Structure 1
């Protein structure tokens, strides 16, 4: 629980950071949508703003004046409860509203929320504001990774920022952490912020296992490529093999072989691959195939959560072997906010940890990220278990 004053500061800090992320962009960058999974930066800025307008201002400010009646249609993401919305694949087709108009929208909504929370509010409303803040923090990570995809698929491979280190090295030696067989408690303890999919602290039984204290590196994955790992059907799930074959996948996302030497696109432009840096931008399919090649496996999300206290984490979202499922006694919230997590609990894998793109004050050991197994535009890597 955060006091109203501190919560307001947290809100203003978060709103400012989204715009800081976008500061290096040219106006043309704000509208591009190369693939359906990537949204234009302009849309992220508008959607996170609409969230506060829709769930807080419209419902809790008397005689509230809506900024623009069309914006609910334009910036709603997937909330069926709210009403109709622009098809996700069409977000990049919207030259209007302009970038200027979206920034005006942000200023208007930020000022209205600030005015509302300058006086003490009921705890339920504070909780709603906190959800909105963390929702925007989620989109800050999406902003960073979507910007990388937009620029990384531009033929010029332009520089976004030289201040962000995409590939920080883990300097410690690789070792195996042993965890004894037993019954363990997993899930959030309800102190501090979390999403509803983390709630329901419960017991799980784990067989004895070992887990690496270090992420798989680029150099280690190149050994898999050189051993024809992408050509060996026996290492892949059937669906993964179809994905590799159909899309002609030969390497992680953003990798380019130039003059027989591997390079990758980074926020600072095209660079030679750092062999010692943790691997990133791989699909679950690739993580699974690599583990098979090594004669090892991926940890489950519960194995990861119990062991995380023994190794550093937060550089990469780490694929786990766990399907994204509800915890015992999971209950969706009433209304539109009930659509936040529960409706996606099918055909997805859980990732744990966080990444170099995850915003500050927005990660914890119980955080359950989730993606379809073919997606890799996030900073996704892997840690081995046995």
Structure 2
């Protein structure tokens, strides 16, 4: 056992979450320790230190990142919430803060996946985890506990860290499952589910559900931790439909594979077929054939293939790799497929649900024919059957029940037969657990969506129409992930412990049905890519779907008309807003003798403000979440011709002041202020009116600014005056100056409120 990664006990038993209306410090401590130890225990299966630096997936980081990342999130969030007063280790809290989030299945490998990047040692990361753990335990002991714990409570940051860690228990399990099998050893305490349960699953009948109305979403006052996307409410009418009694099994999916499903383009969407060709996929990722199929690992594992049958350890033995698992050989004849469980290659489990991505699930539906499709989010909520009213408290949620009749919360270390647990009163099995269920809906906030200031960008960057919702949790889902309210999502090519069940609307042959699948129809610009086509995957001849705008207001702002409006405001007038603010900031620098080494401009737009600052500051960082804006700033910096039409009808060029030294500017598209931004002589923020959660940005300004530096908040929205800023900035900063100034705009003169702050 690779025990050096443990800072506590080895465990694979998951506790249930605390009731935040009445929990004790002891319960919080036990839940925290259980989360921490569960995560570390997963890593004890690795053979040695070197495996932590391997990349099981070419689009993910090495395992060392995930091992340390969760501890860093505790430190970052507790520090932001004011529960701890000092950083633990700023260097590690920068390295391990943010992982990659690939934009497509053919993204190139991130530079941190290999090459010359030097990750910290295992000893350093284990020690960091130990220090953070002790810090949290002391925090729980010493901090007064006021109940109930709500989103406004500083204790919410602790629960955020815990539930984030539990997400990564599942993330790490998926990655470890993709490692070469000889790099892992199954812990003695890890128990796989049974291969069969009673009679084999030879059919998967469709169960009818009559038309009904459904309301889903988590109440804001529910006494458990929840992620921002869970809150709010949607009510819709769902036409009569039928769904498969079971999730689709490996045996059922085998028919699709053996019928040439991976070779027939007609079954695949355009996106799916391009992915299939790129991956050279011939079967699901956790199936193992003996043909050396192309693998998906990264770094020095790039040429590794899972697809070779393991060798027997002894003649005529069914034991492989010393793990005591059957290798699938029967009567001297090798089966065509075996199966990769967490730590072993095992006999092919025909009755377990298949693990596939959305694209594969969609192709299976097309192959099945007769209007088969994936369920929509509303239908999944319906087939769960009658649910207790959330007003009764946590007992309405499956994760809190004394006896959980589902393969979830790590009751097993693998999937189980789809007929192992009893059906619900509607006749459906596995409505929770076993594997996640892909849906047709795009990920988006519910009605009244709001981000949380401690994690402003947890969900909203994924409200782009490229992420599909998964529901129900898997065998390894614990805590919030296993909750009835959980809503998660991944890009359609993404691998998870995820499968699907079939659905189809009951309709007349020529009837077009109003199906309340919520599909994001907002255009999203991806830096370096542009706007990609995002065709609707449900047949528009058969279904009228619910097209909705993204609830990420930043995406809604980042449009082509807005871009040209920003260009006019920044470059169309002598006294343009960013030029006026930049000039004022340079006067403040001179007046208060602020250093000139570095400045950061949050809300950089198309770059006019940061470019102006380069005449005074040696290094200027321009930050914006608008991909179009950053793309345009980079074009201007490269000397490309950027034109726009002025409101007076004239075509103009975006031109920068001749005193500017544009090479000193760097531009980044960021959804929040990461730890890599720090030690600025001057910090300027000008886009509070278009952030998702202004508090999330304001709370970080004091830390990224040097003690001798200055924070400047400027806005054309006079709501952001010195009085409104005091609750945020007044904690760590003191008001230095406050002023109103006029600037020229298409509508004539406008007044901007500018406040300058310094460290107390």
TM-score (norm 2): 0.46
Aligned counterparts of 1:89 and 1:283: Cα–Cα separation in 2: 26
CA shift, 1:322, in A, is 0.9
1:165 maps to 192
Aligned counterparts of 2:286 and 2:437: Cα–Cα separation in 1: 18
Q: Within the alignment, does 1:13 sit opposite 2:34 as a pair?
A: yes
Where do 1:65-104 residues align within 5 Å? Answer: 66-77=87-98, 89-91=111-113, 95-104=118-127
Q: Within the alignment, does 1:45 sit opposite 2:77 as a pair?
A: no
Aligned counterparts of 1:182 and 1:268: Cα–Cα separation in 2: 44
1:326 maps to 445
| Aligned with residue 164 of structure 2, among 135, 138, 145 | 135
CA contact (8 A) 1:31 1:95 kept: no
Aligned counterparts of 2:246 and 2:499: Cα–Cα separation in 1: 11
1:317 maps to 436
Where do 1:184-333 residues align within 5 Å? Answer: 184-190=214-220, 191=222, 192-258=224-290, 261-280=336-355, 282-295=356-369, 296-309=372-385, 310=424, 311-312=429-430, 313-333=432-452
1:110 maps to 133
Answer with 240-249 or 36-45: which moved more: 36-45
CA shift, 1:67, in A, is 3.0
Q: Within the alignment, does 1:23 sit opposite 2:44 as a pair?
A: yes
Task: Render the CA deviation track for 1:304-337: whole Å, top value 9, x for unaligned.
Answer: 1221233323010111111112211211223x51
Choose 1 or 2 for highest CA Rg.
Answer: 2
CA contact (8 A) 1:170 1:214 kept: no
Q: Number of paired residues?
A: 372
Answer with 250-259 or 210-219: which moved more: 250-259
Aligned counterparts of 2:99 and 2:379: Cα–Cα separation in 1: 32
1:183 maps to 213
Aligned counterparts of 1:342 and 1:89: Cα–Cα separation in 2: 25
How has the CA–CA distance of structure 1 residues 61 and 369 changed in structure 2, closer, same or farther, with 3 Å as cutoff?
closer
Aligned counterparts of 1:169 and 1:326: Cα–Cα separation in 2: 39
How has the CA–CA distance of structure 1 residues 61 and 289 changed in structure 2, closer, same or farther, with 3 Å as cutoff?
closer
CA shift, 1:63, in A, is 4.8
Task: Render the CA deviation track for 1:91-117: whole Å, top value 9, x for unaligned.
Answer: 556553111111111111111111111
1:32 maps to 54
Report SS of the residue matched to 1:14.
helix
CA contact (8 A) 2:173 2:342 kept: no
Aligned counterparts of 1:176 and 1:329: Cα–Cα separation in 2: 35
TM-score (norm 1): 0.88
1:83 maps to none
CA RMSD of superposed structures (Å): 2.4
Aligned counterparts of 2:441 and 2:28: Cα–Cα separation in 1: 34
Answer with 256-265 or 108-117: which moved more: 256-265
Q: Larger helix proportion, structure 1 or 2?
A: 1
How has the CA–CA distance of structure 1 residues 169 and 359 changed in structure 2, closer, same or farther, with 3 Å as cutoff?
farther
Q: Within the alignment, does 1:340 sit opposite 2:458 as a pair?
A: yes
CA shift, 1:169, in A, is 5.1
Aligned counterparts of 1:61 and 1:135: Cα–Cα separation in 2: 17
CA contact (8 A) 1:49 1:106 kept: yes
2:493 maps to 374
CA contact (8 A) 1:170 1:278 kept: no
Between the two structures, name the one with larger relative contact order (CA 8 Å, sep ≥ 6).
1
1:84 maps to none
| Aligned with residue 384 of structure 1, among 502, 524, 527 | 502
CA shift, 1:189, in A, is 3.0
How has the CA–CA distance of structure 1 residues 78 and 277 changed in structure 2, closer, same or farther, with 3 Å as cutoff?
closer
How has the CA–CA distance of structure 1 residues 323 and 288 changed in structure 2, closer, same or farther, with 3 Å as cutoff?
same
CA shift, 1:168, in A, is 5.8
CA shift, 1:59, in A, is 4.8
Report SS of the residue matched to 1:329.
coil
Aligned counterparts of 2:114 and 2:197: Cα–Cα separation in 1: 37
Aligned counterparts of 1:227 and 1:288: Cα–Cα separation in 2: 16
Report SS of the residue matched to 1:357.
coil
How has the CA–CA distance of structure 1 residues 222 and 19 changed in structure 2, closer, same or farther, with 3 Å as cutoff?
same
CA contact (8 A) 1:324 1:348 kept: yes
CA shift, 1:151, in A, is 3.1
**Structure 1: 5+ residue stretches without partners:** 80-86
Aligned counterparts of 2:196 and 2:443: Cα–Cα separation in 1: 29
CA shift, 1:35, in A, is 3.1
How has the CA–CA distance of structure 1 residues 228 and 177 changed in structure 2, closer, same or farther, with 3 Å as cutoff?
same
Q: Larger strand proportion, structure 1 or 2?
A: 2
